[in-house]
Amino acid sequence: MLEISRYETSMKKVFSEQKKFELQLLVEKELAYANYKVGRIPETAFAVIKEKCSPSVVKLERVKEIEKEIHHDLMSVVLAISEQCGEAGGYVHLGATSYDIQDTVRGLQLLEAKELILESITETMKISAELALKYKDLACIGRTHGIHAVPTTYGMKFTNFLNELSLAKKTLENADISFGKMSGAVGTYASFRTMEIERIVLKRLGLNRLPITTQVVSRVVYSNYIYSLGLIATVLDHFAREIRNLQRTEIDEVRESFIKTQVGSSTMPQKRNPEKSERICGLARVIRGNIQTGLDNICLEHERDLTNSSSERVILAETSILTHYILLQMNSVLKSLHLNSEKIKANLYLRKGAQCAENLMIELASKLGRQQAHELLKQLSNEENFIEAVKTNAVIMEFFTTEEIDRILDPINYTGLSSQVVEQALGSLKK
């Protein structure tokens, strides 16, 4: 049994069976209105269809009964409406193919889903900005290739995450999914005799039209949407991995919150695992995997085949729900994130001055030349206590006092322009 219900959010309602059915009724009603406005059906017939296209009249249960007989989901809706409309039922769905309704419904669903995700990522960015400002000057060791490099700050870490979120958010904002269609079986408008019906329907629903469609809206539209969610998920994955690594026992600089009643392991009582961050990383894999399916759905045969239908019933809802879920998870993690200042400081000073060898090399460059200074300090970095090795090196101490060496090799003094970088970035990202 699928366990996606474990990760449900309010996004579930957007893609619920009931919501889809209600939107189908809405689109059928607007189609009847447009047909009436261009003179294809009588006003009396439209009035009946308008009244009956309501979930209080046409029941989803009845639609399912019909589908068991005819094995066509949209035609089941059409027949369920028609049987409530008497003679006016003959005008229901006039001129439309199934995906005139389905893709228009999908446009409405995706607009709502996109808005929910944008709201959540905006909250993630707000929390990240607050953390960046709070820890703007909190020095910590930077790591490249997993190895101690030179000092940075936690303000830099949070600001970089914020920047990546901003880039991903823009990608979603630019992913235009506000499209529907009402152009008939292969997009020629032959059954409608006019483009005016499509114009009326889409305008009333707040949707746009593409320059051309076949039986369906181009799946480039949906693929772009799924990719943008995959990008958001991967940015969250990136920072969740950072949290996980910083929570390692040997590093212990950052910890997810852990409530009193929480259990980390069923057998090891001492365990305190970064489970929310791990969950984010795991679900991001699922979301990225759906990008490939979305791309494959672009390649429909001729004017359309049915290979997209089954997969889209899964990936559009699943990708939207899971992206929304891991955004909410990240918000929860960030709001209660604990920074272990003692361990941050201990790790910063762990290499006993070697973490600032670059700073000393820059100072020595004007005296020995950059390459010679680099080679000398590389050799000294093999010593267990780098700062003592430097202080006992006759070549270096010819140019510096002990106090100057202490200053140069103190990592607190070597965070560069990090404070300025954070402030400028936060100012830029607020715009």
Q: Which residues of 96-126 are buried (b: 16+ CB within 10 A; e: fewer)?
A: bbbbbbbbbbbbbbbbbbbebbeebbebbbe
Can you say whether residue 305 is alpha, beta or left, with left for phi > 0 and alpha for psi between -120 and 50 degrees?
beta
CA pseudo-torsion sign 105, 107, 109, 112: negative
Q: Single out the catalytic residue among 16, 257, 265, 341.
A: 265
Question: What is the Cα–Cα distance from 201 to 286, expressed in whole angstroms?
Answer: 36
Extract the tokens encoding 59.
Answer: 């029941």
Extract the tokens encoding 29.
Answer: 């009603």
The letter for the amino acid at 290 is N
Extract the tokens encoding 208.
Answer: 């746009």
Distances in whole angstroms, Cα of residue 79 to Cα of each of 41, 44, 66, 253: 18, 19, 8, 63
Extract the tokens encoding 151.
Answer: 């000092």
Question: What is the Cα–Cα distance from 90 to 41, expressed in whole angstroms?
Answer: 10
Query: Are 179 and 114 a contacting pair, CB within 8 Å?
Result: no
Question: What is the Cα–Cα distance from 186 to 188, expressed in whole angstroms?
Answer: 6
Containing 24, the helix (H) or strand (E) segment is: helix 17-37
Extract the tokens encoding 172.
Answer: 């979603």
How wide is the angle at C-alpha 313 spanned by C-alphas 308 and 316, nearest 5°?
95
Distances in whole angstroms, Cα of residue 123 to Cα of each of 120, 129, 254, 324: 5, 10, 21, 12
Query: Are 27 and 104 a contacting pair, CB within 8 Å?
Result: yes
List beta partners, residue 153: 139
Question: What is the Cα–Cα distance from 286 to 319, expressed in whole angstroms?
Answer: 8
Phi, psi (degrees; rounded to nearest 5) at 223? -60, -40
List beta partners, residue 208: 179
| Among the listed residues 61, 51, 60, the one whose alpha carbon sits nearest the alpha carbon of residue 85 | 51
DSSP E strand boundaries for 236-341: 254-255, 338-339
Task: Determine whether 265 is an active site residue.
Answer: yes
Question: What is the Cα–Cα distance from 365 to 369, expressed in whole angstroms?
Answer: 4
Task: Determine whether 324 is an active site residue.
Answer: no
Q: Single out the catalytic residue among 56, 145, 266, 310.
A: 145
- Which residues are catalytically annotated? 145, 265
